[in-house]
Amino acid sequence: MEALYAITTGILTASGVYLTLRGRTFPVVVGLTLLSYAVNLFLFSMGGLTTHGAALVGTSEHYADPLPQALVLTAIVIGFAMTAFAIILAMRSRGDLGSDSVDGNRTDREDPRENKA
C-alpha cells in the first residue's frame, strides 16, 4: 500500500512540475492542481496508512490518526480556493493582454495603448 502511495505521489508531482513549467496559463493551473493533490497524498501518508483502523479511540486496539485527515481536508479547501483564484487571474490576464502566455508576450493582437508614429 505504501509503495502505491509513493508511486502515485511521485507521478502526480512529476506531472505537476512538468505542466507548471509550460508556457500557457491553463497547463500551469492544472499543474498547480496536480501538485496540490500530490501534497495532499503526502500529508495523508505521513499519518501512517492503517487498514481496518477505528475512527474513535477506545473502540479498537488500532485506530486511524485524525490529524492527517484534518490537514488534508483543510488542504483540499485551500487548494480549491487557490485553483479558483488562479483561473480568474488567468482569465483576467487573457482579457487584458490578449494572450494566455505565461510570460506576457503579446502574439495574438496589437496593443491599442502603444502609439506607432
* SS3 assignment, position 15: helix
- All cell numbers assigned to 98: 490578449
Q: 100: Cβ–Cβ under 8 A, 6 or more apart, which residues?
A: 24, 25, 26, 90, 93, 94
Q: Which domains does the chain have, with CATH numbers?
A: 1-50+65-97 (1.10.287)
Question: What are the pLDDT digits (tens) for 83-114?
Answer: 999 899 888 888 887 778 777 665 555 555 66
- All cell numbers assigned to 96: 487584458
Question: What percent of the chain shows pLDDT beyond 90?
Answer: 28
Distance set, CA 60 to CA 41, 55, 70, 82, 106 (Å): 25, 9, 21, 38, 62
Q: 87: Cβ–Cβ under 8 A, 6 or more apart, which residues?
A: 29
Question: What are the pLDDT digits (tens) for 9-21?
Answer: 999 999 999 999 9
